[in-house]
Chains A and B, each alone.
Chain A
């Protein structure tokens, strides 16, 4: 087999993925996926939060405040992971110039910002009874605050630049720079052996995990948050594709009228 044939075969293997890059195909495919995403979100998030809130016992150290874990941990994990998703989409835009990937990154930003805000709020509310303060310049808290500011800056940059391709280029660069803080938010506890924030509640290492009675509803809630994100992301990306088409039609109208 020649190199050209091998390259073509590799390209063919990824065709299913690149089909999403065509706006028309994306609208058709995402329209079919939407009801399933909504059903998965409802079937995991609703039982997960009900289980976590009503049917988990008080913890020895945290009392009933342990129930905050079901809103704090998923929002914090989504805040970081959404930025990573935006990074991947931005890199696809930079390398392959697929419009839908740039629009997906743009669409994800508001969801990520809301998740970061919720994580900051719930963390502060939980911090007061546990640490005696709502806020401390702890490595994880500080890197999360900076991540929140990056989300705001990212959305402001999209809004400030009229040319959509230039906006996509500049926000992609901002996304790459902000990834340092997204990773820092995730690993701050490991980097610095100081600060108030505890270690990870969910880990591949069984020793680090919270006990099973909290772990199972937490995983269910987390799957629910991921499904909710996919649902909102699809709806928001579809809106962005429509707005891009609208922009093209209105530009053409103005040119005809002039």
Chain B
């Protein structure tokens, strides 16, 4: 295991916060993308049904 000495807390918390924020950003981006795709597909299907 890597020995970070007296700065272990600062290093681990910096990396932890950054990774957490980037993962959250990735999850939000992915969820918004999936959600938008599903809503657009439903709207396109409704339009096709109306137009016959």
Chain A interfacial positions (CB closer than 8 Å to B): 53-54, 58, 62-65, 67-68, 71-72, 75, 110-111, 114, 117-118, 121-122, 125-126, 128-129, 228, 232, 235-236, 238-239, 242-243, 245-246, 249-250, 252-253, 256
- When distances are taken between beta carbons in the complex, the residues of chain A under 8 Å from B30 are 235
Give 30 CB contacts A-B under 8 Å: A53-B2, A53-B15, A54-B2, A63-B6, A64-B3, A64-B11, A65-B10, A67-B4, A68-B11, A71-B14, A72-B14, A75-B18, A110-B28, A111-B25, A114-B21, A114-B24, A118-B22, A122-B14, A125-B17, A236-B29, A236-B32, A238-B33, A239-B32, A239-B36, A242-B36, A242-B37, A246-B36, A246-B39, A246-B40, A249-B40
Shortest Cβ distance from residue B41 to the other chain A in the assembled complex, whole angstroms: 9
- When distances are taken between beta carbons in the complex, the residues of chain B under 8 Å from A62 are 7
- When distances are taken between beta carbons in the complex, the residues of chain B under 8 Å from A63 are 5-7
Q: Which of A67, A128, A245 has the most CB of B within 10 A?
A: A67
- When distances are taken between beta carbons in the complex, the residues of chain A under 8 Å from B32 are 236, 239
- When distances are taken between beta carbons in the complex, the residues of chain A under 8 Å from B7 are 62-65, 129
Chain B interfacial positions (CB closer than 8 Å to A): 2-8, 10-11, 13-15, 17-18, 21-22, 24-26, 28-30, 32-33, 36-37, 39-40, 43-44, 46-47, 50
Chain B facing A: main interface SS: helix
A126 touches B14 (CB 8 A): yes
Question: Which residue of A has the minimal Cβ distance to B42?
Answer: A246
Q: Measured between alpha carbons, how far is A71 from B22 in the docked complex, in Å? A: 11
A68 touches B21 (CB 8 A): no
A122 touches B5 (CB 8 A): no
Chain A facing B: main interface SS: helix
- When distances are taken between beta carbons in the complex, the residues of chain B under 8 Å from A122 are 14, 17-18
A65 touches B22 (CB 8 A): no
B33 touches A243 (CB 8 A): no
- When distances are taken between beta carbons in the complex, the residues of chain A under 8 Å from B28 are 110
A118 touches B17 (CB 8 A): yes
A118 touches B10 (CB 8 A): no
- When distances are taken between beta carbons in the complex, the residues of chain A under 8 Å from B10 are 65, 68, 125-126, 128-129
Shortest Cβ distance from residue B7 to the other chain A in the assembled complex, whole angstroms: 4
